[in-house]
Structure 1
Amino acid sequence: MTGIGLVTPAGTDPDSVWKNMAAARCLATPDPDLAGLPVAFSCQAEGFDPTAELGRRKARRLDRFVHLALAAARRSLADAALEPSARRAPRIGVVLGVGGNSLETYLTEFGRLCEGRPKAVSPLALPRSVPNMAAGEVAMDLGVQGPNFTISSACASGTTALGVARDLLLAGTCDIVLAGGSESARSRMTATCFHQLRALSRRGDHPDRASRPFDTERDGFVLGEGAAVLVLERREHARSRGARTRALLRGFGASADAYHPTAPHPQGHGAEQAIRTALADAGCRPHDVGHINAHGTSTPAGDAVEAELYLRLYGGTPPPVTAPKSVIGHALGAAGAIEAALTVLALERQQVPPTANLLRQDAGRELDIVSAGPRDVLMDAALTTSFGFGGQNAALILTTP
């Protein structure tokens, strides 16, 4: 990993993001786009202005999840010091994770169709909204010409995209892959659907206390948005151009629960399989991992299964755990990529960022969860996990260079 590009509710550059994560304060606020709905708050990337970043014409043509992807991709190439002259190559790929379509645009256009006005439907409705346009628009914006596709595996999308990108490098198909995820969950339809599923926190009176992974008072997750794009290179290629290596992606594992459309397997067998596959792929044992970046969404069932999984995996207390969604909410298909980037920063700083709003854990499921402030931890390897609807699981092992 030679470059990181971020656009999140915590900031749009690694130092700002780390500072806000370290403050352990949930960034959820009332969301004007969701006004009048049962859940009308979210974690928003308030410092991001797509018109200023991309220009008025491009910003108007594209949906927000693509805005976020383009900004993060541009930042990642700048961080990796990849000059424009080096980008137009058939061996530079793009693999991005997106959880779903841009429902806000569809809501508007379906409304026109249902009103009996098919000629009023925008001809751009489809190309601006389908998930593959995140990767497609990044390639057009940056001029990279290698394999290009979007992965959709619900909330595991960003993590899966990074694993697939690594496989393209190992197979010799690419020299460089821009990989990560992008999503804006701040759609009225998205918010309504998740509310109907009883998946969202209802703490509208105190949004800053709403996201509380692994806390006994958790009642659902908080919608978020953002993007993270990481530059992955074959090690020889990075060395040949004198690139700084920020971290290594050593292991990847994926699995399916084959159990239920929305609920996790009650024993977490599929999630455990993905983690054990990633460990084996990296040549690691569980106790080689010095830090776990948990999926930790703040849902009652999901957090309970995940905590029990880590306790079982380690036969006792696991290494220090953090849950970034407590601060920045749940960016769905982008969450895993954002959290992989945060894990890289944790390895670089040899610190684990804290979890917000953690007061008391479930009896019998206590983990060593970092809270209040960052904790210094000497570590060579870290685990980051993502689990999604459809029982889709993904895990990565990242190590110091």
Structure 2
Amino acid sequence: MFDVVVVGGGPAGATASLDLVNSGHKVAMLDRESRIKPCGGAIPPRLMADFAITDDQLVAKVNTARMISPTGRHVDIPIENGFVGMVDRKDFDPFLRARAVAAGAHAVTGTFVRIQRDEDGTQVIYREKASGETRSLKTRLIIGADGARSRVGRAEVSGGDTIPYVLAYHEIIKAPPKSAVYDPVRCDVIYDGAISPDFYGWIFPHGDSASVGMGTEVASVDLKQATAALRAAAGLADCETLRREGAPIPLKPLDRWDNGRDVVLAGDAAGVVAPSSGEGIYYAMVGGRVAATACAACLESGRARDLRLARSLFMKEHKMVFRVLGSMQNAYYRSDERRERFVSLCHDIDVQRLTFEAYMNKKLVRARPMAHLKIGLKNLAHLTGLVATTRT
């Protein structure tokens, strides 16, 4: 009998497993393994501090972000007083799982099938990878951390079967030498309707390799063709392709993360990917932590309603950031004309500083009210077309 079975061993599931075993609970972590999620791999310093991630897990440290407009104009934003860490999910996720197992989590390799409740209690039914046989894990609670199309969420949580998402696709390529178009310490973000009509494309350095990809909610877009166009435009078409990966990325946190009984969701399964930026690793790990906290409270009290703590704790700290980023995406991702103005707005030094302070610390910066007022007025001017787009 386990206290908690965690379905999924990505950043959310591995974090939940680690926190639960560290608090004295018996945990099984069920994961398919061998699956690598497409991901730019950016993590902020706050993640490294909050979740004890050391520099040896990084494949690069980025000190500049380049925002590129539909017409090819760009603005380089220096990352002051810090850096953006880059990880490769093929190595980072196994590291997180191994850390949880070393702490005491029971690793199970297989595919989730269903949750079964009968006179013997609650069981997670799964198909074992090695044998292909159907087996079960008896448990008191379940954390669904099995991705944007969560099978746990679809079966158990209201709204889990209708979560909106974009499809993301990237290619890991052999990194070219540093040049005028590629810098191993710079992230490029491409806002161009020809690449993605409603999201963006990216080129993120990973040391000896780089992630080149894009995302969109528009079903008619050919993701591989769009990525090929992005590589060609960036002079990366001839670089060796090492891996190709695709997966859905959720667009909005679910209104409810638990089933009021014995299941709570975490990470992509709960929809916690930041609007506008698509950032997910930090929020997945926070989601895993609050899910573990909620399960620990429920196990202690015996009250199923304590599972609601997961969502309430997350939203208490991050709701406003998600709201602001969602508003920005709705305002600027609607057309190339709007994207052009967004990149123009990024020339502003106040925008640059406050944006990266918020990114690094994962909270809205309230220390400079006049800067916020200036940004609000500039934002309005750009949206209404009262100012011309800035030229580089």
TM-score, structure 1 as length reference: 0.31
Query: TM-score scaled to structure 2, two decimals?
Result: 0.31
Higher relative contact order (CA 8 A, sep 6+): 1
**Greater fraction of residues in strand:** 2
